[in-house]
Amino acid sequence: MNSVILTTVGRLVAALLLIFSFFLLLRGHNLPGGGFAGGLVAAGAFVLVMLSEGVPTARRLLGVDPAKLLGIGLLVAMASGFPALFIGKPFLTGMWDKTVWPVLGKVGTPLVFDTGVYIVVLGVVCMIVFSLGGEDAED
């Protein structure tokens, strides 16, 4: 699509969507939101770029192959369960740091899990949408 307005506004709105997706991710371990909602909003930013500038530009802005994001996100989410095993609790038991961080609040393994889910959702949605966009993955 060759719309100057969509291309110009698309980049700005995509940046705002990415910022909002991080807000949802950080908010979600204490309140509604989290990795799934944040990942969908982040993927929406790349879909907007894809619609306004094409699949190659969206892939370049993503910077990583969406299939790799899927694997990385699964590893991050799975890694969030191991700290509990080290102290004799069941896998994926939530553990929290007692320190209250200025922007994050209390940080713990649920935030790590949500981050993994965020990465997985971003990778899966981008993989599906980019393939529907008509261009194969760059080799």
pLDDT band at 120 (very low <50, low <70, confident <90, very high): very high
Please check the confidence at residue 22 and state whether its pLDDT lies above 60: yes
Helices (H), 28-108: 35-53, 55-62, 66-79, 82-86
In sequence order, which residues have a C-beta less than 8 Å from that of residue 8 and are 6 or more positions away?
A: none
Helix (H) or strand (E) holding 105, with range, is: strand 105-108
For residue 80, pLDDT beyond 50: yes
Is 80 exceeded by the pLDDT of residue 30? no
Helix (H, G, I), strand (E, B) or coil at 98: strand
- Predicted local confidence at residue 100, as pLDDT: 86
pTM reported for the whole predicted model: 0.88
Q: Assess whether pLDDT exceeds 80 at residue 138.
A: no
What one-letter code names the amino acid at 111? L
High-pLDDT (> 90) share of the chain, %: 68
Higher-confidence position of 98 and 129: 129
Q: Are 7 and 87 in contact (CB under 8 A)?
A: no
Per-residue confidence band for 135, with pLDDT thresholds at 50, 70 and 90: low
